Amino acid sequence: MSIREIIPLLAAVIGLTPVFLKWLNDRSNEAAKRRNVQEAKEQVEFWKTWLQAQREVSNDDQFAEYKKKVSQRLDDLTLEKVNVENEEKNTEYKMSFFRKFFLAYMPHTASGWVYHTFYYILISSFLLFFYISFYPAGENITDPNPSWDNFTSDLGFTLFTLLFLAAVAIGFHRLAVRSEKNFFEKQTHEVINP
């Protein structure tokens, strides 16, 4: 298998990696949401049953007090959930420099996934082209070993291609970061103004 046959295969694998990671992330997020919903249902059912039992054994004044306490507990449960969700959103947006630089996070939007995918494809192409540029080109290859002379033999084209790939990758990187920032700003706005 030659390097020309490996390049499309490598690009396809790199392009599908974010899709696979998104699928795994969605499955784990979905399972966590189901657990949270089930836990909340169990708590509501417990307090409902407890309150019904208290109705049978307490007088009207005590029952009214118990009813207030149960109402407060359910309100606290709702506020805890909202606070945890807001804290997770803020934590996700406040990422370290290296996570942002390497886009080492799961995007939250479809456009973020597209930008991530193209960024990784372009970075991989940059590295692959850089590696290949040390090998001789053409049909009459006398020395198939990599060397600095092969890299400098067509330096103008090599530098132009590398700079072009890097510039386009940087553009997709900025779009990915902006997409993530817009997502979190929209989420924050929805929490503040429901």
Q: With 70 as the cut, is the pLDDT of residue 81 above it? A: no
CB 122 within 8 A of CB 116: no
pLDDT(151) > 60: yes
Task: State the pTM of this model.
Answer: 0.52
- Residue 82 clears pLDDT 80, i.e. is over it: no
Residue 170's pLDDT band (boundaries 50, 70, 90)?
A: very high
> What is the predicted pLDDT for the residue at 174?
93
Q: What angle do CA 43, 88, 123 make, to 5 degrees?
A: 140
Euclidean distance between CA atoms 64 and 51, whole angstroms: 10
Confidence of residue 167 (pLDDT cuts 50, 70, 90): very high
Banded model confidence at residue 180, pLDDT cuts 50, 70, 90: confident
Q: What is the mean pLDDT of residues 43-70?
A: 85
Nearest to 100 by CA among 168, 25, 171, 180: 180
Lowest mean pLDDT among 43-47, 85-89, 138-142: 85-89
- Which uninterrupted H or E stretch holds 103? none
Is the pLDDT at 15 greater than 60, yes or no? yes
Cα–Cα dist 61/54, whole Å: 11
**pLDDT tens-place string over residues 92-108:** 556 777 778 888 888 88
Q: What is the mean pLDDT of residues 155-168?
A: 90
172 confidence band (pLDDT: 50, 70, 90): very high
Average pLDDT, the chain: 77
Give the pLDDT score at 119: 92
Top-confidence residue, 154 or 126: 126
Question: d(Cα 107, Cα 172) in Å, to the nearest integer?
Answer: 13
Q: Kindly give the residue spans of alpha helices, DSSP state H, lying in the chain.
A: 3-57, 60-93, 97-101, 110-132, 148-153, 155-192
Q: What is the pLDDT of residue 163?
A: 93
Has residue 164 got a pLDDT over 80? yes
